[in-house]
Amino acid sequence: MPSMDERALEVRTLGRTPYEATLDAMRAATDAVATGQEHDQLWLTEHESVYTAGRRTDSSDWVAPGTNVIAVERGGRITWHGPGQLVAYPIVRLSGKGRDLHAWLRLLEDVIIGTLAEFGIVGERDPDGTGVFVERRKIASIGIAVRRWVALHGLALNVDSDLTAFAAIRPCGFDATRMTSIAHELAPARAPDTATVQRRLVAVFRERWAAYPR
């Protein structure tokens, strides 16, 4: 059984998954990491199509009546997950100086920005919120929660998503036309596949996580 002091990171590549089953498994893993039964983990997945609503979701965020939405404990507002979108869930202990949620959000933004840079895309922060943008077009969303000082939920990076899926909602409170993807930003011949983006994201996350305050 790994101890609470070990900093090993276990990367789990899940493939395409249903959201609710993954959510239940993530909550169970969070408890296991909190009690020292398991190492820190980074989960990578593409979800089957689903809309999820964080704690700050407003009634105005629903555009299409009757849209099925799953309410979750993460921060942020409503968003869509689905094929072509890389979702990363770091389930990691935040300890010492690392118990700074603003710093944790900045780390996740750094991971996205560093990943995009590999493909020649300049990602930018929004000074008034979270997530990563490309010239004011939103390419990645972030929503986190913390349980017993273990982080859960995480980030969603649009690789080659069907952006029309966002039209049923106001994603993160924005007009859906502001959403973009790596494939949309690059010429088709230059667009990487999800597996390539995933490998880069894991490498950047390992680097940033190793340097994160403890």
pLDDT band, residue 206 (cuts 50/70/90):
very high
Does the annotation mark 172 as catalytic? yes
Domain containing residue 128: CATH number? 3.30.930.10
User: Does a structural domain hold residue 172?
Assistant: yes
What is the Cα gyration radius of the chain?
Answer: 16
Into how many domains does the chain fold?
1
pLDDT at 7: 67
Domain that holds residue 99: 9-211
User: Does a structural domain hold residue 199?
Assistant: yes
Region 109-115: what's the mean pLDDT? Answer: 98
Catalytic residue among 142, 156, 172, 179: 172
User: Does a structural domain hold residue 71?
Assistant: yes
Token duo for residue 166? 């966002």
Region 188-193: what's the mean pLDDT? Answer: 87
Percent of all residues in the chain with a pLDDT value above 90, rounded to a whole number: 86
pLDDT band, residue 127 (cuts 50/70/90):
confident
User: Does a structural domain hold residue 3?
Assistant: no
User: Does a structural domain hold residue 2?
Assistant: no
From edge to edge, which strands make up the β-sheet containing 124-125?
9-17, 40-47, 85-91, 150-158, 137-147, 132-134, 124-125
CA distances to 40, 47, 50 from 164, in Å? 35, 16, 13
User: Does a structural domain hold residue 184?
Assistant: yes
Q: 75 and 143 in contact (C-beta within 8 Å)?
A: yes
User: Does a structural domain hold residue 4?
Assistant: no
pTM (2 d.p.): 0.95
User: Does a structural domain hold residue 113?
Assistant: yes
**Strand partners of residue 95:** none
